[in-house]
């Protein structure tokens, strides 16, 4: 009996130590199927819905539509502007952008570009643009800006989950 009890751990150890192909460690996954439906291939390439959200955000800024902007952002979003973390979009709207919107009489964008890439249920984009803001007190602000964004897609559609923008005075030739 004692001899049998000693053999069980030895056999288990021998099995555990036996060389086994490490398929999970192979970084070449080209032979593996996807974990999504067949629609994923074309869906991964379709960025139009995500582009529409970023274009709608720009249009809502121009029209100063706070409610329209808020609908484009996920509740758990993160906003960064000119090196500062603004918190969620709701916080950004309440403490920063909202008060600014009240003082703006005109907001226009010039030469906007948008490049968008989709990876499954996520998309990221970067934008370049110029903008001009006219304020109630007569001041005019002209800037060149860039923005990067991350969007997530679920059953309710695309939402912006992270947005980072910065701007500077335009460089004149």
Condensed to tens digits (0 to 9), the pLDDT of residues 90-123 reads 999 999 999 999 999 999 999 999 999 999 999 9
Domain spans in the chain, listed from the N-terminal domain onward: 44-168
- In tens, the pLDDT along 6-24 reads 444 444 434 444 444 444 4
CATH 3.10.450.50, applies to 44-168: yes
Tokens of 69: 């902007």
Distance, CA of 162 to CA of 117 (rounded, Å): 15
DSSP reduced 3-state for 44: helix
């Amino acid at each position: 009996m004692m001899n049998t009890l000693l053999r069980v751990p030895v056999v288990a150890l021998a099995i555990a130590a036996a060389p086994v192909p490490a398929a999970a460690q192979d970084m070449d996954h080209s032979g593996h199927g996807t974990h999504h439906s067949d629609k994923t291939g074309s869906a991964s390439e379709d960025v139009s819905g995500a582009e529409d959200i970023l274009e709608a955000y720009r249009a809502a800024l121009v029209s100063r539509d706070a409610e329209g902007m808020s609908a484009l952002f996920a509740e758990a979003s993160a906003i960064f502007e000119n090196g500062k973390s603004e918190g969620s979009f709701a916080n950004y709207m309440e403490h920063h952008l909202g008060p600014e919107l009240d003082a703006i009489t005109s907001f226009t964008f010039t030469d906007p570009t948008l490049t968008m890439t989709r990876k499954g249920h996520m998309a990221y984009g970067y934008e370049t643009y110029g903008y001009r803001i006219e304020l109630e007190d007569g001041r005019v602000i002209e800037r060149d800006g860039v923005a990067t964004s991350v969007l997530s897609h679920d059953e309710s559609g695309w939402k912006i989950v992270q947005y980072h923008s910065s701007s500077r005075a335009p460089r004149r030739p």
